[in-house]
Amino acid sequence: MSHSSQPKYSPETIALHYGYDPLATGHHAVSVPLVASTAYAFADSQEAIDIFALRKEGFLYSRLGSPTVDVLEKRLAAYEDGVGAVVTATGQSAHSTLFLTLLRSGDHVVASNSIYGGTFNLLESTLPRFGITTTFVDINKAEEVESAISDKTKLVFCETLSNPRLTITNIPEVSEIAHRHGPQQPTAHHHQYPRGIRDSSSPRSASRGRHYPHRGDQPCH
């Protein structure tokens, strides 16, 4: 879900309160309710048709979203200063969604050689079956990243603090290398601890807690 305007709150306020107004709910619960329903009511059949056809915002089925998940997505989007967020059940499903959304047969990925084993296997063994190949590099050696990018590269992937080696990635440097090869070349990075990712040289990051050099970059948590 997306948020319509840039919030002017501190990261702490966003993390605690953004995306939920107790006074607008009718029940005034301060904590975000945990909605357990799998199905949702519609005013009439036309509303159901419009929501299922994605012509109108609304909830269809809990696997696709719920009021509780919607609040979390709005908070993450605002917290990362992004246009939207998608929440999944696991980190591996987040990575799978990311790759299958951005990539297609014939595309190429440049990935850090220091990443979670399940993601390594996904890139090394599973995605090649669908025509998507990956070159693994030392993500903090700029010359390796640069030389691995080709005209088929659609994504540069890394982990901010890698699992399990805790390699710290220089996100601004990697992002700049990727975008030199095309303005739409995104860098995807997996954050274990988003609040701690900070570029102290950026006035924007000092107030907002993080800094992504290019709007097309995709953080995963």
* Strands 108-112, 153-159: pairing kind: parallel
DSSP-derived 3-state class of residue 86: coil
Cβ–Cβ under 8 Å, residues 135 and 111:
yes
pLDDT digits (tens, 9 = 90+) for 21-57: 888 888 889 999 999 999 999 999 999 999 999 999 9
Q: Cα-flanking dihedrals φ and ψ of residue 2, to 5°?
A: -105, 160
pLDDT digits (tens, 9 = 90+) for 149-188: 999 999 999 988 888 888 888 888 988 888 888 755 566 6
Which pTM was predicted? 0.75
Which of left, alpha, beta for 7 (phi over 0: left; psi -120 to 50: alpha)?
A: beta
